[in-house]
Structure 1
Amino acid sequence: MTNSINRRTAMLAIASTGAIATTSAAAMVDVNAAEAAAWEAALAEHDAALAAKNAFEPTYDRIEAADEAGRPSMDVIPWNEFTFEDRHHVARIMDIEKRWSLFLEGEGKWWWAPGREDARKAQFRAALDTIRDFRRQEAEHHERSGMNAASTSYDALWDRLGAAENALLDLPAPHGPALLWKLEHLFADDRGDGFCASYSAELMDKVLADARRLLSHGRA
């Protein structure tokens, strides 16, 4: 059964875009009521997820700014032991025990300390211990500032929004406005650099299938 409201809405949306402005009313396929209802439900969830994420962002930004202002300094680490290395990686990511094992393996190969090998080992071990202390202090700071909780909440909101977007892109577009939403989502210049994000061939095939189904009727 044709849904005339959705058809009229579809025609208005299609007429607003040059890419599909030539589609005639006779070429429009009938809107399946169940598919349209599924789309509207998914769109409502997407809009709710987006609103929730946007509403939380000021709180997240405030907590992040306060957390950054009071963050422990990396200067407690003796950087002369890690010259030319990426400080963020050393301070927060580097496997400390693996680095210690690598240091021991390098004795007599890429470092020497004649007559003071034990002292050199103790010096480097102490440097590694400062990294461990920095990580502990930073973790405690993130907990006190509320950054850990804020990050968990923000990640969950982004996960919800991502799932909602994927659900919409996976659903067959039941009418022109749905196809237009997909096209605007896929080809929007969100970063402002003149390029759109890259998507998989599988996803693009789904959108092309929607376009063929909705727009190709009546072609010779």
Structure 2
Amino acid sequence: MNILYIAALSLGSIVELLILCRLMGYRQLSQMSMFDYVNSITIGSIAAEMAISLEDNFLYPMTAMIIYAAAVILLSWGSSKSIRIRRIVTGKPIVLLNKDKLYEKNFRKAKIDLNEFLTQCRVSGYFDLSQLESAILEENGRISFLPKSEYRPATPKDLHVLPINDSLVANIIIDGHIMTKNLKASGKDERWLKHQLSTHGVSDVRDVFLATCDLNNQFSLYLRTPSSQAPDIFT
């Protein structure tokens, strides 16, 4: 009986977590601030407590999860309305390097040492600090680098070239299934799609792993390939 009870509570906690994550927004999954990170751990711990609650007090952790989620939503709303609240919740960027000067006080404030900073520089492709104009520690813990103008990658504008504008790519076949809405949004129909498949020698849509098309009518096709045919580049 306890096993069934735990299974029911586990499913309930999963459902509640999904609902709360949807309410709190995708920011929980992408660029988390320190506050988001702490709340995510706390809510997850409460959900685990709820899942293994063998006594009839599962309403307590459920209530706690809702309160934490409500606090996140309220503070997120407050952050969007007030700069002061935003600074308290998410903090503000810290300048670590600017115009060939390293700011030791800001390093101590950010709790980051010089070796870690140099590692992040190398990971981002900068092995020489003299190539950098600025380095800023963002609120989410990542470091943004601004290279000096002579070291930044050349752009089409620098080369006086006017490239064709890129367009969004629609996934029109995914795992052997036609994405009807995507196909319609790209201005195409199934008759056009069947013609494209026939041109590429495909008779069954189930043989297609992925097919895409952009607004410039660029059609790309990826067939299902057995894993045995995948190259092993690490041998």
Give the TM-score normalised by structure 1. Answer: 0.21
- Higher helix share goes to which structure? 1
- Higher strand share goes to which structure? 2
Give the TM-score normalised by structure 2. Answer: 0.20
